[in-house]
């Protein structure tokens, strides 16, 4: 696609307030592929004003009509799926098949789910002598990350629009071209001017301006816990609603009765998907001490099919590459053993890291506690089920997890004791209607399905 040199505000592409630009780099070959405008507080203000002006009419639009607009958006995203996938491959480095099926395909599914949901959602209910109304919260400031550039946009914008809110989006600076494609799709789908607005820019400038803007009623942010903490503080000072989807250090717990080989292989596929750049990645594998050596050996064999430049794409940028290499070095320094992989560059160009498996990892090690956001998986031993639960819950995060057991009831009983917002049982499939979000420092609020829609609604009671 050809990059736009302006912002999408009030239903049209208009020039940016300043002259600054952001270079978009293909992480597979380190070449600059485009430049987009670096938005300022002035751009954000114009976008918020457009969203404010569009809010009353959009909030008053019947849910069936909002559903029709979302269905039209879904259809445009589906029709442009190949172009979207190619763009995501260029600016994120996602392998082509993964880009098409997941990066471009999943948002079509999610947008469609909200088109269906809003048509039948109970925006009113009777409680005793009261009628309770669920009304749109207002203008939403959405700040999205680069790892799933379209899915993360849709997971915020689709429910916000379904609820009757208007939106200003500030996408990640690494993947702004996908956001521009989404703005084109919104325009093509015929959404009213100002209902959706796009400002590209840097987090500390445009993101900060959006989070602080007095015309924004709710800030929905996905990204690091450190930045989420700052946005939460800004919003708290203004008594403003927030939805924060933050980091994770998810445990893949393999109980002794499980199919060990399957649990290891499916867990690895999860952890290495998107080059490990997933907040919900199952990066800690917990195995009983009697099965530990067998599990590690199986993982070493299974990881061979994940070749850099093939099934494993690059990391998003040079900074991320150095971060992941730093964690690998830290693991070695603290006494963990590299089974396969390591920090050495596997290819001559591109921000690639070989899939890396660590054994002899103990729960207090840095690589067992902190989110690495790369293709690095750590294997931990446990003594018994209570020990496994203690290790699984012993991080500041609580986003996701998985449990494997020969008996489903055994796995469910363990999962009920885990401090995590979403747990897969014996390889349970992704459900676009299930609430996604975390316990503890993994965030505030939920995305997807009816729980995701509820984030963008506020409650009014009428007494009779």
Catalytic, 165? Answer no
Q: What is the mean pLDDT of the chain?
A: 97
Mean pLDDT of 44-69: 98
- pLDDT value at 2 more than 90: no
Mean pLDDT of 199-221: 97
| pLDDT tens column, 78-111 | 999 999 999 999 999 999 999 999 999 999 999 9
Mean pLDDT of 435-462: 98
Catalytic residue among 279, 371, 410, 447: 279
Catalytic residue among 90, 91, 173, 245: 245
- pLDDT value at 44 more than 90: yes
Q: How confident is the model at residue 242 (pLDDT cuts 50, 70, 90)?
A: very high
How much of the chain, in percent, has pLDDT values that exceed 90?
100
Residue-range domain boundaries for the chain = 6-246+442-463, 251-431
pLDDT of residue 292: 98
Mean pLDDT of 325-351: 97
pLDDT of residue 9: 98
- pLDDT value at 340 more than 90: yes
Mean pLDDT of 392-405: 98
pLDDT of residue 282: 98
Mean pLDDT of 186-191: 98
pLDDT of residue 102: 97
* pTM of the predicted protein model: 0.97
Classified by CATH at the fold level, domain 251-431 comes out as Aldehyde Dehydrogenase; Chain A, domain 2 (3.40.309)
Name the superfamily (CATH) of residues 6-246+442-463: Aldehyde Dehydrogenase; Chain A, domain 1 (3.40.605.10)
Q: How confident is the model at residue 66 (pLDDT cuts 50, 70, 90)?
A: very high
Q: How confident is the model at residue 437 (pLDDT cuts 50, 70, 90)?
A: very high
- Residues with Cβ within 8 Å of 278's Cβ and at least 6 positions away in sequence, in order, are 147, 148, 270, 373
pLDDT of residue 173: 97
How far apart are alpha carbons 213 and 222 in whole angstroms?
Answer: 18
pLDDT of residue 337: 98
Closest by CA position to 207, among listed 184, 223, 183, 190: 223
Q: How confident is the model at residue 1 (pLDDT cuts 50, 70, 90)?
A: confident
Vertex 227, ends 224 and 233: CA angle to 5°?
135
| pLDDT tens column, 276-319 | 999 999 999 999 999 999 999 999 999 999 999 999 999 999 99
- pLDDT value at 455 more than 90: yes
pLDDT of residue 357: 98
How far apart are alpha carbons 98 and 55 in whole angstroms?
Answer: 36
| pLDDT tens column, 147-183 | 999 999 999 999 999 999 999 999 999 999 999 999 9
pLDDT of residue 189: 98
């Amino acid at each position: 696609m050809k990059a736009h040199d302006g912002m999408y505000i009030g239903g049209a592409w208009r020039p940016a307030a300043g002259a600054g630009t952001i270079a978009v780099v293909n992480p597979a070959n380190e070449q600059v592929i485009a430049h987009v405008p670096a938005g300022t507080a002035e751009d954000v203000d114009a976008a918020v004003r457009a969203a404010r002006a569009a809010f009353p009419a959009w909030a008053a639009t019947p849910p069936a009509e909002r559903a029709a607009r979302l269905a039209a958006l879904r259809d445009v995203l589906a029709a442009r799926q190949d172009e979207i996938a190619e763009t995501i491959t260029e600016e994120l480095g996602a392998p082509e098949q993964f880009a098409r099926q997941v990066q471009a395909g999943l948002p079509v599914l999610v947008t469609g789910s909200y088109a269906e949901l809003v048509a039948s959602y109970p925006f009113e209910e009777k409680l005793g002598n009261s009628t309770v109304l669920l009304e749109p919260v207002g203008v939403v400031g959405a700040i999205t990350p680069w790892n799933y550039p379209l899915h993360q946009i849709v997971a915020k914008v689709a429910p916000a629009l379904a609820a009757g809110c208007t939106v200003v989006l500030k996408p990640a600076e690494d993947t702004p071209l996908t956001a521009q494609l989404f703005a084109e799709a919104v325009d093509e789908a015929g959404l009213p001017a100002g209902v959706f607005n796009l400002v590209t820019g840097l987090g500390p400038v445009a993101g900060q301006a959006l989070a602080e803007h007095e015309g924004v009623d709710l800030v929905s942010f996905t990204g690091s816990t450190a930045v989420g903490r700052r946005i939460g503080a800004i919003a708290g000072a203004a008594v403003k609603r927030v939805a924060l989807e933050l980091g994770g250090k998810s445990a893949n717990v393999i109980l002794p009765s499980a199919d060990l080989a399957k649990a290891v292989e499916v867990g690895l596929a999860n952890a290495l998907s998107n080059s490990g750049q997933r907040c919900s990645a199952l990066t800690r594998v917990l195995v009983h001490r009697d099965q530990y050596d067998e599990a590690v050996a199986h993982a070493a064999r299974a990881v061979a099919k994940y070749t850099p430049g093939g099934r494993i794409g690059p990391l998003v940028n040079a900074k991320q590459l150095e971060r992941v290499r730093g964690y690998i070095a830290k693991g070695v320094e603290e006494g963990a053993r590299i089974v396969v992989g390591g920090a050495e560059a596997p290819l001559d160009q591109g921000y690639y890291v070989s899939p890396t498996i660590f054994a002899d990892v103990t729960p207090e090690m840095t690589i067992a506690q902190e989110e690495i956001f790369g293709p690095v998986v750590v294997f931990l031993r446990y003594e018994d089920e209570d020990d496994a639960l203690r290790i699984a819950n012993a991080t500041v995060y609580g986003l996701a997890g998985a449990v494997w057991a020969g008996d489903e009831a055994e796995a469910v009983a363990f999962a009920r004791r885990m401090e995590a917002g979403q747990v897969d049982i014996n390889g349970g499939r992704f459900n676009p209607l299930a609430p996604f979000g975390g316990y503890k420092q993994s965030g505030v609020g939920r995305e997807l399905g009816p729980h995701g829609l509820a984030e963008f609604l506020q409650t009014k009671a009428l007494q009779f």
